[in-house]
């Protein structure tokens, strides 16, 4: 923002801004630019921190995964994070497990998210979209997707445990063709 534009603002607005940003009117543009840069850096740090938290949570879930034959059934809760980061961690879990069904839930700002993923070798028995459609109503939501990846959202985060318990119950039956 150019200084000429700023200086044409009413004095009350300039006084408020210079007070909040603790600078002279002619320094406002530079101050705003530096704060925007600082925000970008902090957002990048938050993304890195969220990815680290998710990786740790994923590793714990993988370590405690139930085995149904050669298949890892990985079900649990993740800390809230951007959808893309959650999907990346679920992909990482599938790669590490080899043959797996993964159901992850998370609470975020009064809502709940669910993600189901199935390795390609299992989609004939377990379809992620069908699984998500069965558990999403338990959290007051809905969703769907492809046989190997599906997502849902809901309005009842207090019911996330119920949805994950139901996923733990359903997956072994689906794998055994019940």
Sheet hosting strand 66-68, strand order edge to edge: 66-68, 71-77, 100-108, 111-118, 149-154, 142-145
Number of structural domains the chain divides into = 1
Percent of the chain scored above 90 by pLDDT?
A: 60
pLDDT at 14: 79
Q: Does residue 25 fall inside a structural domain?
A: no
Provide the pLDDT confidence category of residue 37 given band limits of 50, 70 and 90: confident
Residues 31-55: what's their mean pLDDT? Answer: 76
Q: Does residue 44 fall inside a structural domain?
A: no
Provide the pLDDT confidence category of residue 46 given band limits of 50, 70 and 90: low
DSSP string over the chain: --HHHHHTS-HHHHHHHHHHHTS-GGGHHHHHHHHHHHHHHHHHHHHHHHHHHHHHHHHHHHHT-EEETTEEEEEEE-----HHHHHHHHHHHHHHHSSEEEEEEEEETTEEEEEEEE-GGGTTT--HHHHHHHHGGGGT-EEEE-SSEEEEEES-GGGHHHHHHHHHHHHHHHHTT-
- Give the least confident one: 49-53, 54-58, 60-64: 49-53
Q: Does residue 103 fall inside a structural domain?
A: yes
Q: Does residue 7 fall inside a structural domain?
A: no
- The domain spanning residue 168 has which CATH number? 3.10.310.40
Residue 93, domain extent: 67-175
Going from the C-alpha of 94 to that of each of 4, 11, 170, 175, the distances in angstroms are 56, 60, 19, 16
Model's pTM, two decimal places?
A: 0.74
pLDDT at 126: 95
Q: Does residue 153 fall inside a structural domain?
A: yes
Q: Does residue 115 fall inside a structural domain?
A: yes
Q: How far is CA 111 from the centre of its chain?
A: 12
Q: Does residue 143 fall inside a structural domain?
A: yes
Q: Does residue 148 fall inside a structural domain?
A: yes
């Amino acid at each position: 923002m150019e200084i000429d534009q700023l200086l044409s603002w009413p004095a009350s607005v300039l006084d408020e801004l210079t007070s909040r940003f603790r600078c002279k009117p002619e320094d406002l543009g530079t101050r705003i630019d530096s704060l925007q840069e600082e925000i970008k850096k902090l957002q990048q740090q938050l993304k890195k921190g969220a990815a680290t938290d998710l990786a740790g949570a994923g590793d714990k879930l993988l370590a405690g995964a139930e085995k149904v034959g050669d298949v890892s059934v990985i079900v649990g809760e993740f800390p809230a994070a951007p959808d893309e980061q959650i999907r990346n961690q679920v992909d990482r879990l599938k790669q590490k497990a080899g043959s797996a069904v993964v159901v992850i839930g998370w609470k975020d700002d009064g809502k709940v998210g669910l993600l189901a993923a199935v390795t390609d070798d299992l989609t004939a028995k377990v379809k992620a979209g069908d699984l998500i459609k069965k558990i999403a109503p338990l959290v007051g939501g809905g969703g769907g997707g492809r046989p190997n990846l599906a997502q849902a959202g809901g309005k009842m985060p207090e019911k996330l445990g119920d949805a994950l318990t139901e996923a733990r119950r359903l997956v072994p039956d689906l794998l055994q063709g019940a």
